[in-house]
Amino acid sequence: MDQLASANNELHGYYFEDLEEGMTDIYGKTITDADIILFSGISGDMNPLHLNHEFASETIFEGRIAHGMLTASFISTVIGTKLPGPGCVYVSQNLRFKAPVKAGDTLTARVTIAKLIPEKKFVELKTICLVNEKVVIDGEATVMVPKRP
């Protein structure tokens, strides 16, 4: 095996044959003001609910909140880097936003394999984000996972 093939194998996540229903993995991160500001710049979402304290303090949230898609992106972190990991491809994602996330909150994204679909090499996942054990996002994702070469 040449060095490039060896490096690619080391980078690869799970193959379809390695997966089992019930497998789970997580990623945790404390959300910062910088994360919110940078996400605004990257996404173009300059909603004052995320950036303007005076505006946001007059809303039901009583202060600035993180973008829902910023918090949901940590589900992608788990899927793309841990379970199933590098090599898988997103097919779909459903999200239900349950509660706000604010700067200073520590968010934990959890992905659990719910169902394997061998004929398509699809994996259905239960996805959830929590802050202090409170569900802030829940949903489902489907990914395609390569079979072992």
Write the pLDDT tens digit of every residue in 38-84: 999 999 999 999 999 999 999 999 999 999 999 999 999 999 999 99
CB 115 within 8 A of CB 125: no
pLDDT at 7: 63
Question: What does the alpha-carbon distance between residue 78 and residue 76 come to, in Å, rounded to a whole number?
Answer: 5
pLDDT at 6: 65
Residue 9 lies in a domain: yes
Residue type, 118: P
Residue type, 116: L
Task: State which residues form the domain around 36.
Answer: 3-144
CB 127 within 8 A of CB 51: no
pLDDT at 10: 75
Residue 149 lies in a domain: no
- In the predicted structure, residue 4 carries a pLDDT above the cut 60: no
DSSP letter string, the chain? --HHHHHHHHH----GGG--TT-EEEEEEE--HHHHHHHHHHH----HHHH-HHHHHTSTTSS----HHHHHHHHHHHHHHTSS-TT-EEEEEEEEE-S---TTPEEEEEEEEEEEETTTTEEEEEEEEEETTEEEEEEEEEEE-PPP-
What pLDDT digit, counting tens, does each position of 117-134 carry?
Answer: 999 999 999 999 999 999
CATH of the domain at 60: 3.10.129.10
Residue type, 131: V
Overall number of domains in the chain: 1
pTM of the model: 0.91
pLDDT at 78: 98
Residue 88 lies in a domain: yes
